[in-house]
Structure 1
Amino acid sequence: MPEEKIVFVNDKPADCGCTLAFSDGHGQYSNVYRITPCAAHSADKPFGPVEVKRDKDGWWCHPDIPDFGGTEDPAPFKTWAAEQGLELKTEDMDTGLAFHPYWDGEAHCNGWDPQSPGPEWFLMGIFDTEDGPHVQWARREVKP
């Protein structure tokens, strides 16, 4: 996930709405900065859909999925998804296509436009695996 910078200019709120309060510490501390995050940067922001902008090869990953240290082990991701209350659904590219240049050695999935399983589902990622391209969708778990 790319690092995002929040910029405060002349003690004014950031463009996103985050605010900054400064105190010189009144002789007890050094400078003290208090940041009040906007809704987009709040830790309480629920994980959910975002705008999808696939790269030049057609791949995409939800930018708010945490970095799990580069491990290939799916357990930390599955644990995190369960903590988020997400139900996941994954499909292979070959489920919906009769042919794609990927199967002839091309390293892209352009032209594959997987369709959401329903209006409540949002895209988690379009990614390559040992078994070929996959798409993963998520939705909030439906409570009975």
Structure 2
Amino acid sequence: MPEETALIQPLPVERDTDGWWSHPDYLAEFDDEITQAQFNDWCQRHQVVTKITYMESDVDADVFDAYMTDGQVDCSAWKIQHPAERGWFILSIHDAEDGPVCIWGKRVTP
């Protein structure tokens, strides 16, 4: 009998001094790199869909430029805009190839 996965639950977001945060259960079973198939499987098991907000398109250009020129470690000036639709919660605020991203999750019914 397959082990049942506990569904990930929204938590209060407490960003660190540089603005980063990750839900303690978000991709917790993986080390660093995962494949798209592993990510899709994780989402299915946790019954969430995801979407991404990119800092670059969510802030004034001067805020993003300051991030890019100041050593790319502090995104705390980013006031992340919550999606208009209800039910989205933050899974992670982390750096990616194109700068900081916010990964949102939303519960789906199987």
> Greater CA deviation, 102-111 or 88-97?
102-111
Sequence identity (%): 33
Higher helix share: 2
- C-alpha distance in structure 1 between counterparts of 2:18 and 2:37, whole Å: 27
Name the structure, 1 or 2, with higher relative contact order (CA <8 Å, separation 6+). 2
- State the structure with more CA Rg: 1
Count of residues in correspondence between the two structures: 101
Aligned counterparts of 1:78 and 1:70: Cα–Cα separation in 2: 16
Which letter does structure 1 place at the counterpart of 2:70? G
Q: Give the structure 2 partner of residue 99 of structure 1.
A: 62
1:87 aligns with 2:80: no
Q: Are residues 1:49 and 2:14 paired?
A: no
* Cα-Cα RMSD: 2.0
Residue equivalent to 2:94? 127
Length-normalised TM-score, structure 2: 0.79
Unaligned runs of 5+ in 1: 1-42
Distance 2:18 2:36 in 1: 24
The Cα of 1:93 is off from its aligned counterpart by 0.4
**1:1-144 equivalence runs, <5 A:** 45-65=6-26, 66-97=28-59, 98-100=61-63, 101-106=66-71, 107-117=73-83, 118-141=85-108
Q: Distance in 2 between matches of 1:123 and 1:110?
A: 15
Q: Secondary structure at the match of 1:89?
A: strand
TM value normalised by structure 1: 0.62
